[in-house]
Amino acid sequence: MRISGATHYISAAKEGVLDPKAYLSDLMRKLEPHARSLNLFSKINERSDAGKGGTLHGLPFSVKDNICVRGFPTRAGSKILEGYEPPFDATVVERMKAAGGSFIGTTNMDEFGFGTFSTNCAFGAPRNPFDDSRSCGGSSGGAAGTTAILSHHVALSESTGGSISCPASFCGVVGLTPTYGRVSRYGLIDYANSLDKIGLMARSIDDIAIALPIIAGKDKRDSTSMAQPELSISNELIESIAVPEELISAIHDKRIIDMFSASLKKLEEAGVEVARISMPSLRYSIPAYYILACAEASTNLAKFCGMRYGAAWNAYDKMYNEFFTEVRTASFGVEAKRRLMLGTFARMAGYRDQYYMKALKIRQKIVEEFKGVLKGFDVIATPTMPLLPPRFEEIIEMTPATVYALDFLTVPPNLAGIPQVSMPMGYLDDLPVGIHFMADHWDESKLISVGRMWEQRMEYRFPMNLEGSP
């Protein structure tokens, strides 16, 4: 059985072999130059106090830049939030601190989560620690890169359409997106309320199994978290895996398909039944997702107008419409403007039924299709991304529609709100490739179980193993 980073750290701290304060101070000194050269952090917490006791005994944790941390700059990768310091902790941050976690800083991301490669960050793109000429993936790119270089750490991250799975795959770490509503979104700077989920990245599934019960659970400040059944993680027998044929046949990189087939074979050898199935509605996932996500974003971001948060615009001689337009024009990036406008368009009179209402119905169809398959199978599996982490110069050449289409493997489970985990599946050209497991609503326990089964058959590689001295 693999000894995970967090497990190892926690038992050492518990036994008094490791002093959390000395560990943290040494770690921060070592982390700083790498975090800077790879641009992983929006801001490092220079006054980091070591957490005490609890479940985590000072285990370091980072926070994606769109999750509020009290008295700490939180910008969601956007210039429009420069200078904003939330007067409160998000529920997940509050819970990690209460469990004895040590907050080490906020990680870089695409502006408001609008991206697949973290290149839409107003403060520069994080670079992949496996090859710094390549993307970390997005939108939680900084969280994934940080997880890839720190031995003992968990990252609070967030997914709307694949923003945990994609970067976890590109940076060779484990990324779990829980069921929609499993983790409170109170204190999350929202992109699309009906799609956003706060989740975790770590170096092993056992690290995830330690942190998930801390952040999960009902929160009166987020009504969507109140419907959840209690989280119970146990070792479940995984007997069957379904593979949606439509998704696999749309992958062009044959090496990724071959690696995936070999991975399924390993699981079959362990006694798991693998069946190819059809999920015809998934072909509509990309348009349905982008219409819903952009429509919700276009209303959510209306609050950023230069008055209440971040960038203050002191041009009070201007009329209010002119004032709002000026601050938004100057502060939003290109992709943010594109998505706000797409969402506004999809909600406009005359197009609402054609786009928005139809997308909502397709989501229902996709939810039904997933639930139908998961009645007969424990989990569904695909590769996480259809490509290796691309170089920055390759990304510049991609059109927006091309980039959106690359999300076809991660968008379906996000649209359906089912839990999913991306795990390192293997390495091609010394770059990590991810495998994606999906389970039914509230069934995170099955993902942990299939994850443990997978990790018994897979050796992970990490580009760096930074840790503090004990």
Partner 1 sequence: MGIEIDEEMIEKVARISRIRLAPDETKRLLNDFKEILSAFSMLDEAVPDCEPAFHPIEIKNYVREDEPETRIPPDEIIENMDTHQRFIKGPRMQ
Q: Rule CB under 8 A: which of 343-382 touch partner 1?
A: 344-345, 348, 351, 354-355, 357-365, 367-368
- Residue 268 found at the interface with partner 1 (CB under 8 A): no
In the complex with partner 1, the residue whose CB is nearer, 268 or 322, is 322
Site for partner 1 in 20-79 (CB under 8 A): none
CA separation, residue 392 to residues 133, 193, 315, 411 (Å): 6, 30, 37, 23
Q: How far is the CB of 74 from partner 1 (least distance, A)?
A: 10
163 is an active site residue: yes
25 is an active site residue: no
Q: How far is the CB of 436 from partner 1 (least distance, A)?
A: 17
Judged by CB under 8 A, the residue of 290, 377, 437, 454 near partner 1 is 290
How crowded is the C-beta side of 233, counted as CA atoms within 13 Å? 19
Gap between the Cα atoms of 140 and 40, Å rounded: 10
Judged by CB under 8 A, the residue of 31, 342, 435, 439 near partner 1 is 342
Crossing angle between the packed helical segments 285-300 and 334-347, to the nearest 10 degrees: 100
Site for partner 1 in 97-136 (CB under 8 A): none
375 is an active site residue: no
Site for partner 1 in 292-331 (CB under 8 A): 298, 302, 305, 307-310, 312, 314-326, 328-329
- Residue 398 found at the interface with partner 1 (CB under 8 A): no
CA diameter of the chain? 72
Q: Are 97 and 50 in contact (CB under 8 A)?
A: no
CB neighbourhood size of 237 (10 A):
10
Q: How far is the CB of 433 from partner 1 (least distance, A)?
A: 26
CB neighbourhood size of 341 (10 A):
12
Q: How far is the CB of 317 from partner 1 (least distance, A)?
A: 7
- Residue 231 found at the interface with partner 1 (CB under 8 A): no
Could you tell me how many residues make up the chain? 470
Which of 64, 79, 97, 197 is catalytic? The answer is: 64
Gap between the Cα atoms of 113 and 121, Å rounded: 9
How crowded is the C-beta side of 214, counted as CA atoms within 13 Å? 25
| Choices 45-53, 385-393, 397-405, 453-461; region in contact with partner 1 by CB under 8 A | 397-405
Site for partner 1 in 167-196 (CB under 8 A): 179-181, 194-195
- Residue 84 found at the interface with partner 1 (CB under 8 A): yes
How crowded is the C-beta side of 469, counted as CA atoms within 13 Å? 3
Which of 42, 78, 102, 139 is catalytic? The answer is: 139
Q: Which residues pair with 60 in a beta bridge?
A: 102
- Residue 250 found at the interface with partner 1 (CB under 8 A): no
Crossing angle between the packed helical segments 444-455 and 254-269, to the nearest 10 degrees: 90
Site for partner 1 in 402-431 (CB under 8 A): 404-405, 415-418
In the complex with partner 1, the residue whose CB is nearer, 217 or 287, is 287
Map tokens 């490791």 to a residue.
18
In the complex with partner 1, the residue whose CB is nearer, 17 or 319, is 319
Q: How far is the CB of 345 from partner 1 (least distance, A)?
A: 5
Pairing verdict, β 60-64 and 154-159: parallel
Q: Given CA atoms 402, 287, 291, 161 in this order, what sign does their dihedral have?
A: negative
Name the residue among 47, 67, 210, 82 with its Cα closest to residue 143.
67
Kindly list the catalytic residues: 64, 139, 163
